[in-house]
Structure 1
């Protein structure tokens, strides 16, 4: 009997020790790219596209590592108004719903672009009055639909040629350069709170194309047109060299009272990748992250999808790829650690 009491006392003592002993320290999760960027008052985001959302490991990382999403295609004109006056927001809505579930903000992309237009729009000639009405209706219907659900819009995408002349799009040919100011005004009428951007590639460096945006931004601001930011896509390629004037360029737009964003970032290379190329790529990712952090009005960085598994590059640039900070197996590459280093 005494032996049983002793055994019971021993068990009680062990339980008390287990209850009162400090729990083994749980190892904290390392901060995500979004966590690190938020410490600087920035966001760190990724584009995504609807077909990828059935990939559970991919969407898990998309939902945890980033605090901002851009729909790669689901908000473009061909997807949202496939027939004149018939709107379909299902693809964009799916991505907005995913972002809301993950407490992420959404950048709307894109309202006016010469590419990926539906055939009914691109395959016929329009009078100026007809096209103005079509453009206004499209912009305002889409912006109203997403009012309060997106924080920014790429209103006009890729409006200039490399030499700084206006691109000969259906909108420019039919309406003249004033279509850009009109598009911004119509978007602002439909959602007065959303930030309105012009967005383009090869404008990271100071040069003829970025100068054209700088002059246009000056003119629009002087006329009181609602323009809030410039999106620098930052589709870079190792063979063309790093845009050394990026930080100066961001700074000059901020002096106009404009936000900037690195809106579609990837850094491609000729494949196969090797250690030297990946090291250069990592250095570039670190440098462009540091450039954004150095300029107060550079509000955030968005990868043009985060993994090589879903990169657009191989389909558009023969022999090139490996452009993103995660590889095709969703493993982080040197670029990922370089971004973390810059954000710390």
Structure 2
């Protein structure tokens, strides 16, 4: 009998690693589909960083940084290249993760054959539909969701391309109809994948957020499937109140679509970082998602400051030497209790 209790004690002592505590574990145990991260080729090539990226305890979803964008998947007309994206997708799936595939139609990251092609309306529609059909078909069955159209709205609520600054060749050539056309093509190519509109500065009630509500309604009015709105959530320390975040999320879910934070980071200057405020803000944003039943997940736009895209900032959950920051622990706590402690119920022993 003593041997039996000794064996049980060893089993309990070693149960935590088996259960795998982490951001994604807690997110999934408490109602979210995933807690995810953006992953780049640079991370895959860094053994220490990639070891963190592979931890499905922390991450249940990947988003490719640039590897699945137009310029990389169709660098010349009707000639497709998938090696960069495949590498990220294969690692995600082999580690039991889902893919948020990103993105199909954006005004940036376009090859010169598009931007300098001087295509007419009909030709550019054909090019766009062909691109979407080929890329989505290649990844069919491997993407939980696609960011179909990315950043189509200005801060003032007008379509990008209605003025000359940061113009969208898609809008300038095709008009707003390019958006439902893109969604229809993507949905036809992979009926099982969720189809998202993705944008920044739409995380709180605003003119731009209202325009995105109208964009969703416009796509729906054509009888075209749109399943979600991705809120990029690029913040600086001192992020918006949770009440404002929740109000915006609900404005979208009231349309019958799901929502997700798709590119979360919270900047704090590397010269005088405020990691305490950053930690508070990460918990606030994650908590907003938890309050909205159709908020399915949170993706951070990179997990380590070593590979941040924001110059002069330290916006991520791991530092430049791959150590966990206060924001990691505040996010972990917000997502729920330690499953090992929760499952153990050690007071009974």
- TM-score of the superposition, structure 2-length normalised? 0.89
* Matches of 1:298 and 1:230, distance apart in 2: 10
* Matches of 2:258 and 2:209, distance apart in 1: 15
* Matches of 1:176 and 1:100, distance apart in 2: 37
Contact 1:205 1:243 in 2 (8 A): no
Which consecutive residues of structure 1, in runs of 5 or more, have no partner in the other structure? 1-15, 315-319
* Matches of 1:20 and 1:191, distance apart in 2: 53
In structure 2, do the counterparts of structure 1 residues 127 and 37 end up closer, same or farther at CA, with 3 Å as the change threshold?
same
Listed as ranges, the matches of 1:1-344 within 5 Å are: 21-22=6-7, 24=10, 25-27=12-14, 28-29=16-17, 31-42=21-32, 43-64=34-55, 65-168=58-161, 169-238=168-237, 245-274=244-273, 277-314=274-311, 320-344=312-336
Contact 2:198 2:232 in 1 (8 A): yes
Larger mean CA deviation between 130-139 and 234-243 belongs to 234-243
* Matches of 1:273 and 1:97, distance apart in 2: 39
Contact 1:306 1:326 in 2 (8 A): yes
How far did 1:19 drift?
Answer: 8.7
* Matches of 1:240 and 1:270, distance apart in 2: 14
* Matches of 1:244 and 1:163, distance apart in 2: 23
Q: Which runs of 4+ in 1 moved over 3 A?
A: 16-21, 239-244
* Matches of 2:4 and 2:233, distance apart in 1: 55
How far did 1:61 drift?
Answer: 1.0
* Matches of 2:215 and 2:299, distance apart in 1: 24
Contact 1:236 1:242 in 2 (8 A): no
In structure 2, do the counterparts of structure 1 residues 19 and 239 end up closer, same or farther at CA, with 3 Å as the change threshold?
closer
In structure 2, do the counterparts of structure 1 residues 234 and 18 end up closer, same or farther at CA, with 3 Å as the change threshold?
same
Deviations 1:98-140 (A, max 9, x none): 0111111001100000111111111231100110110010000
Partner SS state of residue 171, structure 1: helix
Which consecutive residues of structure 2, in runs of 5 or more, have no partner in the other structure? 162-167, 337-349
Contact 1:239 1:269 in 2 (8 A): no
In structure 2, do the counterparts of structure 1 residues 78 and 242 end up closer, same or farther at CA, with 3 Å as the change threshold?
farther
Contact 1:273 1:322 in 2 (8 A): no
In structure 2, do the counterparts of structure 1 residues 102 and 144 end up closer, same or farther at CA, with 3 Å as the change threshold?
same
Counterpart for residue 343 of structure 2: none
Partner SS state of residue 130, structure 1: helix
Partner SS state of residue 108, structure 2: coil
Give the length in aligned residue pairs. Answer: 322
Partner SS state of residue 141, structure 2: coil
Partner SS state of residue 69, structure 1: strand
How far did 1:60 drift?
Answer: 1.3
Partner SS state of residue 323, structure 2: coil
Deviations 1:289-329 (A, max 9, x none): 00000000000000001000111111xxxxx3110011011
* Matches of 2:118 and 2:144, distance apart in 1: 34
* Matches of 2:151 and 2:5, distance apart in 1: 64
* Matches of 2:244 and 2:100, distance apart in 1: 26
* Matches of 1:257 and 1:242, distance apart in 2: 24
Deviations 1:163-203 (A, max 9, x none): 01000110000000000000000001111111000000111
In structure 2, do the counterparts of structure 1 residues 121 and 142 end up closer, same or farther at CA, with 3 Å as the change threshold?
same
